Structure 1
């Protein structure tokens, strides 16, 4: 562990904890030890932390952190690098970064592998940068790598105004992909259209399968980014074109699906999915390199920017979780920790 190469750090810090799984009300602020640095880690003085669905799932006891990860919530942060592990390039000290973290973001200080950091540059600011890494890494890997979407193809995204949904719309449109989304009301549909969605379907008022078929002249979409699973999966498959790819990243609607296998065989469909947090540091570092080369410059140049919902103080993390679980948000919710 190396700490002498930066400011003297306190032994304890403010962080959000919960004694037992439950609803948002179990979250409370308290003092915990400042985390130790591994050789490949940087210590980040957190300015802002993004709030994501996996945080809510972990708080509810449904998504335990992987071995060795911080038990604290928080998978993305922005802030200043204030200390370096023994194997981290010296020039990172003092840099402002956004980072994908293995956990621990809901705190004054957070560690992350230095290869999982992206530099603050161009038109980026600390608040919006904290809202980018988790959704950007997730969408890039699942839509562009696993889903293999290409320019000129069509993408269907459920939850079009969620953090994942808004990121998927922006990135796909930036690479000339036609985007269809589903949303729960007309206001969200309109927000998705303003962001660039070619078609926004109010799933409470229309059958999205029929709407997709009508919009595409019966051809269907090439990729479905699915966060619902459950009984959505067979309906999603009906939306896919031949050789289509179905990518599942969450199971908000249920962990099991009833599939008609002849459809998969006849239309040569591919079903895949992933979870990001348990992947190795080396995998995430390679993903960060690809993002740094292809997507991050779009944010630095101001061509893309995350859709921001509300900002809460660290102490109000319970209110942030309540808002996310109410489904009223459009875009990303963040916590202000140190500001900047």
Structure 2
């Protein structure tokens, strides 16, 4: 039933909740971006009611109409909404929020509160009412302990078994690479790993041997932002290499890195050591080992912008659990088979 509902919401845009966002313009726009990121959630903002006056929206392009100084319930009915989302600081006024909840009684309009706390998964968040004041309790990320030990054990065992079972596949791929372009079968590049330690990642070579020399002439054709160079039709990739990339078979040798403890089956993507800018928020992704697959891989891969990829990596770090790893591994199977975002 959930699958059918998500398909209806994602493709037809039906069976959703039409929301009016209430708060300052920056807060409302942040919530707008968050709820529209996943159409299957069925949350469709149709208007913004700003609490800081029209002057705050002057000269700013907004994805939905902006209103101010209106009765919120009347506005909801005018735009055909069924949900009011109180955003950020607007939710910090308990008297106003309580009166709004009273006003909505019997109206059929839902009330939701979007606090200024983003990218924190549900299991880490608990409501603790104290004398009528609902406190939002946020637990620390679990980056150590028995669960992490189980993750390490799972990584090593799975990598060892995988390498043994995939020996025939490795031999076939190695032969295809040598026939396509004489040169080494494997490509090893320095990457930044756990706590900033540098290691050399293993991959099957998918480019001609002079690929690095040809890169300078292609820099202006980069199709992504951020640190990594990506082209959908990169002339440096030979035909067999293009197949290996689309099917993600070129990543299989990273099981060696997993077996040596340099990588994990699931984690943030490892970035090149020579290009890395690991200052500020981005450095937080180094708190866990990089992974063969991760949240960004099952959410769009190379089709994602750099900022979105970093956001997903940080979300994984802050909300990691063993069950989450298993979920990402399961989703990876479908993404690889669909060859989505791989080039």
Q: Which has the larger radius of gyration?
A: 2
Per the shorter chain, which TM-score range?
Answer: under 0.3
Q: Normalising by structure 1, what TM-score?
A: 0.28
Tell me which protein shows more helix as a share of its residues: 2
Q: Normalising by structure 2, what TM-score?
A: 0.27
Tell me which protein shows more strand as a share of its residues: 1
